[in-house]
Amino acid sequence: MLTPDQWTTIKRLVAWLDSENGRSQEEIGLRVLKLTEETGEVAQAWIGVQGQNPRKGITHTITDVQDELCDVIVTAAVALASITGTPEDVLDQKLAKIAARAQAVNA
């Protein structure tokens, strides 16, 4: 879960993107699609950690994977904050549902 300070940073990023790129439906859509790019970078880093490509060998570290995963989290938070004024509430509600499901499975 993001902290209030982290949400402040996310909202600043949204404001910056709004001022630079506007807030059209196309722009919001691109913010959502940016997630695909970022998840691809996670996959690329993980493949690089595993040395899956024999021509390239090991090209990434676990730190690279961690960094890319953080990019996914930030990008998702920016996209969420771009479509709702209360992203922290939306995320809290979703996490509560997930926690309840996990508790029911483990009961």
Q: Does some domain include residue 73?
A: yes
Q: Does some domain include residue 8?
A: no
> What confidence score (pLDDT) does residue 72 get?
98
> What confidence score (pLDDT) does residue 87 get?
97
> What confidence score (pLDDT) does residue 62 get?
98
CA atoms within 13 A on the CB side of 26: 2
- Domain that residue 71 falls in: 18-106
Asked if residue 107 has pLDDT above 80, the reply is no
Q: Which of the four pLDDT bands, split at 50, 70 and 90, describes residue 2?
A: confident
Q: Which amino acid is at 80?
A: L
**Angular region, 24: left φ>0, alpha ψ -120 to 50, beta rest:** beta
Record the tokens describing residue 2, joined without a space: 């993001």
Q: Does some domain include residue 84?
A: yes
Q: Does some domain include residue 22?
A: yes
Q: Does some domain include residue 68?
A: yes
Q: Does some domain include residue 54?
A: yes
Q: Does some domain include residue 11?
A: no
DSSP class of 51: T
Q: Measured between alpha carbons, how far is 61 from 67 in angstroms, rounded to an integer?
A: 10
The reported pTM is: 0.91
- Indicate the number of domains in the chain: 1
Q: Does some domain include residue 5?
A: no
pLDDT tens per residue, range 38-92: 999 999 999 999 999 999 999 999 999 999 999 999 999 999 999 999 999 999 9
> What confidence score (pLDDT) does residue 106 get?
81
